[in-house]
Structure 1
Amino acid sequence: MSRALLIVDVQNDFTEGGALAVTGGDAVASAISEFLDAHANDYAVIVASRDWHHAEGDNDGHFHETPDYVDTWPPHCVAGTAGAEYDPLLTVHPVTHHVRKGQGSPAYSMFDGVTDEGSTVGAVLSEAGVLGADVVGIATDHCVRASALDAIAHGVQVRVFTDLVAGVGAESSEAALAELAHAGAQLLESVDA
């Protein structure tokens, strides 16, 4: 069975010092890099996504001057800015497909984005014959959750490596992981894979 590694939004704006910093983001970036050093060859494809929002406008209500931090957020991951770039602690040379999402829209799931060549994540996985995917990244309770649910909906057997994700809130991250488990995802640490 071909497997994919899906690396969700490990970007400067989501790690320490960023516009929407998630505690533990840098640690997750480093841990994913260590995992890639040991396991990149285990995957048929490695897909990494980035939020890539327009600087102009509110990105379909996603950006707001007084955000509620549920559906609206302060500006973040604006295309072409340092905040939208991968965290420097993340090793990206093994990545086979880079996905940009959120041009003019919220786009929580990497499945809402496209590669530099214009392919969807679903198409990339189908073309590679991927039947299983391991999901890692930021944030557990938002974009990791949405991407894993979409992978399950695409017919892929999903494993979420709980030691390679970081969330915005402890309670909301726990709830997201429980939802993913109920949807059919396997929750485990990367060392147990």
Structure 2
Amino acid sequence: MSKALFIIDVQNDFTEGGALGVDGGAAVAAGVSRHLAEHGDEYAIVLASRDWHEGHSDNGGHFATEAEPDYVDTWPAHCVAGTRGADYHPDLDTSRVDYHVLKGQGVPAYSIFEGRTDAGSTVHNLLDEHGIDTIDVVGIATDYCVRASALDAIAHGQHVRVLTGLVAGVAPASSDVALAELAHAGAELVTAS
């Protein structure tokens, strides 16, 4: 069996200065690039997800349009398809990415498993096609999309490793809770820098 890398939402809007920027987001982008340069050959496939929301709708209630966002279920507009905010962070080297997964078109979507490639493939199908049994997870945000993606991978029977030095969250407390939840669910928390 084989190993895959999930790079979750390392996008301009989720890094410093973006619409929903998190502290340490740019460092994650650079760190993931270093990790790929040093360990890229360990992965049978590398998948990178991006939020890819519609600009002309509230994306199923995901964008707060009528009231202030609650930052739990509703958010300010972010990662609108085709905008700079939706682009990968420039410090993320995407040359080793085999599959680009877009999620959140018209609906809220946190997990990479909710997206599809440009060719229409699902993540679950790609994992099956490549005989993947282990997934390393890195990216943004620990307490939202990293958490959701790792939990879905566990639910799909994968051995999951979260590389803790290559994730950044919205807040330290909620990120700590998310990592504890993932460990309890069976994820291995691996120090990586």
Q: TM-score range by the shorter chain?
A: over 0.9
The partner residue of 2:93 within 91, 102, 117 is 91
Q: Deviations over 1:53-76 (max 9, x none)?
A: 000110000000410001100000
Q: How many residues align?
A: 191
- Measured after TM superposition, the shift of residue 190 of structure 1 is 2.4
Moved over 4 A (4+): none
Equivalent residues in 2 for 1:11-160 (5 A)?
A: 11-65=11-65, 66-160=68-162
- TM-score between the two structures when normalised by the length of structure 2: 0.98
Structure 1 Cα separation of the partners of residues 2 and 47 of structure 2: 14
RMSD: 0.7
Q: Deviations over 1:7-50 (max 9, x none)?
A: 00000000011000010000010000000001111100000000
Q: Percent identity?
A: 64
- TM-score between the two structures when normalised by the length of structure 1: 0.98
Match of 1:184 in 2: 186
Structure 2 Cα separation of the partners of residues 190 and 46 of structure 1: 17
Structure 1, gaps ≥5 residues long: none
Structure 2 Cα separation of the partners of residues 49 and 153 of structure 1: 18
Structure 1 Cα separation of the partners of residues 192 and 118 of structure 2: 29
Q: Deviations over 1:136-174 (max 9, x none)?
A: 000000000000000001110000000000000111000
> SS of the residue aligned with 2:121?
coil
* Counterpart AA for 1:54: E
- Measured after TM superposition, the shift of residue 189 of structure 1 is 1.1
Structure 2 Cα separation of the partners of residues 144 and 179 of structure 1: 12
